[in-house]
Amino acid sequence: MAAGASLIAQLQAIVGREHVLAAPADLVSYSYDAAPGNVMPSCVVLPRTAEEVSRILVLANDLNVPVIPRGSGTNLSGGTIPVEGALILATSRFDRILEINEGNLSATAEPGVLLGDFHAAVEARRLFYPPDPASARIASLGGTVAEGAGGLRCVKYGTTKDYILGLEVVLPTGEVIQTGGVTVKNRSGYDLTHLMVGSEGTLGVVTRITCRLVPLPAAHQTCMAAYDSIQRAAETVSAIIRRRIVPAALEMMDHHSILAVEAFRPSGLPRDAEAVLLIEVDGAPAEVESDFKLVLEACREGGATSVRVAQDEAEREVLWGARRAHYPALSRAAPTVLVEDMTVPRESLPEMVARVREAARRRGLELGLAAHAGDGNIHPDILTDQRDPELMARSHALLEDFIRAAIDLKGTLTGEHGVGSLKAPYLPWLYGEAGVGALRAIKRALDPNNILNPGKVLV
């Protein structure tokens, strides 16, 4: 639905004529994200300051126009797909790294900065921002905050929420607030910072982010272990953790994913393996050497048919590039990929793997399975085709099977991709009506007109 001339004119008065997009050709790329489905927005507005964001939200409330905040659009749960009549508020012009404070181990940046660029900037100072989703090169920093993103290094370092010290946020009704600060300790009132992290653009628009940094690890060792059974691979994960080793990354890929990646980006993955583990240990050199020996021992005792140790940085990058290629490789193997994201306790990972594979067999659907295995976060991605209603119905039934299995194993329906629109109907399965009612009360208090990203998280 195209925006009316009056709305366009009022938005242009706020941000300038060149920063409002309304031509159909300009709107198409904002009509979808990385999840199935698309809806054309009425227009796209690209503000540059918190004040401009505030004025846009005040106008949207006056006119009752839904607003969808958007970073790079890499969301995998439909979190940035518009609703009918909505305008997109794109943060791409908020693109500055404002400060890297080596003495305070912190950095402040705007939400449109690409995460990969942020990583490079802090690592040039021998500092480290651990959150590392597979889309890091193209995801925006603000998008990862909105999602509470995770990634490959969560097993040791945690997720985005563990690294956000403070935020500047424009509330749905237009007020600009500061949350948190630049200190490690802050117990001043309710924790609004972490209310906003992972709120998926439903409670406010983040316009400035202060992050906690850590020293860049001095050394690392990386290996790939191949298995003739995915269950043995999953059991090895628990064996490594039982040895009191917490790797920087502990990833798993199944046979289908291996073949898809090798067809997409040949990386030397063993095509005959049923599964591989990709493992990295980092830290002080002596500690890395000791822990890595225990990791190799656990892999071999766990039934690995081969173990390949990266001999240099180039080989290490090839291995991690293969893992990051999982989703784009599957996207070439099927017209539609439902990228799933559940987390279970680590010791329940072998059981969860068995359940999702059996559910897929029963539904007659193919999976490409990868996992941030070290933290129990599994991605049983469904290969399907959104042009086929019957196939999509079976695919969504399979998604429900996965969610039930995760909850039954004391897990959660999403670990890092967010609820979005795709999983919003299932939130009561996890929290019950009273729990969801508490979430609704927060949403109503901050967004009484429900204009900010409606239909996401809560339905």
**Concatenated DSSP letters for 71-92?**
SSS--SSSTTPPPTTPEEEE-T
319 and 278 Cβ atoms separated by less than 8 Å: yes
pLDDT of residue 314: 96
Over range 108-122, report the average pLDDT.
98
Cα torsion through 138, 139, 142, 147, rounded to 10 = 180
This prediction's pTM: 0.93
Predicted local confidence at residue 185, as pLDDT: 87
Tokens in use for 238?
């628990």
Q: Which amino acid is at 199?
A: S
Quote the mean pLDDT of the chain. 95
Q: What is the pLDDT of residue 76?
A: 83
Helices assigned H by DSSP within 415-456: 427-446
CB atoms within 10 A of CB 340: 26
Tokens matching residue 367: 């999976």
Amino acid at position 159, single letter = T
pLDDT over 70 at 132, yes or no: yes
Look up residue 30 and give its two tokens: 């904002």
Contact between 411 and 188 under an 8 Å Cβ cutoff? The reply is no
- Please check the confidence at residue 1 and state whether its pLDDT lies above 70: no
Distance, CA of 181 to CA of 186 (rounded, Å): 8
Average pLDDT over residues 81-100: 97
pLDDT, residue 77, reads 86
pLDDT of residue 91: 98
pLDDT in tens, 343-392: 999 999 999 999 999 999 999 999 999 999 999 999 999 999 999 999 99
Helix (H, G, I), strand (E, B), or coil: what is residue 64?
A: coil
Is 341 within 8 Å of 217 (Cβ atoms)? no
pLDDT digit string (tens) for 262-296? Answer: 999 999 999 999 999 999 999 999 999 999 999 99
CATH class of 217-333: alpha beta
Mean pLDDT of 70-92: 93
Q: Where are the domains of the chain?
A: 5-90, 97-215, 217-333
pLDDT at 33: 87
First to last CA, the chain: 22
Tokens read off for 21: 């997009």
Largest CA distance in the chain: 69
Q: What is the mean pLDDT of residues 2-28?
A: 92
pLDDT for 220? 97
pLDDT-based confidence at 444, cuts 50/70/90? very high
In this predicted model, what pLDDT tens digit does every residue of 386-436 receive, in sequence order? 999 999 999 999 999 999 999 999 999 998 889 999 899 999 999 999 999
Residues 215-253 have pLDDT tens digits of: 999 999 999 999 999 999 999 999 999 999 999 999 999
**Of residues 334 and 208, which shows the higher confidence score?**
208
pLDDT of residue 366: 95
In this prediction, residue 2 carries a pLDDT of 62
What single-letter DSSP state applies at residue 449?
T
- What would the CATH number be for the domain defined by 5-90? 3.30.43.10
CA 332 to chain centre: 21
Contact between residue 33 and residue 74 where contact means Cβ atoms under 8 Å apart: yes
pLDDT of residue 205: 98
Residue 459 is predicted with a pLDDT of 85
Which structure tokens are listed for 227?
Answer: 């298995």
Task: Kindly give, in sequence order, each residue whose CB lies less than 8 Å from that of residue 290, ignoring residues fewer than 6 positions away.
Answer: none
DSSP 17-58: GGGEE-SHHHHGGGS--SSS-----SEEE---SHHHHHHHHH
Q: What is the pLDDT of residues 29-59, one digit of tens each?
A: 999 888 888 899 999 999 999 999 999 999 9
Domain 97-215 has CATH 2.30.30.60: no
Is the per-residue pLDDT at 187 higher than 90?
no
Distance CA 147, CA 278 (A): 25
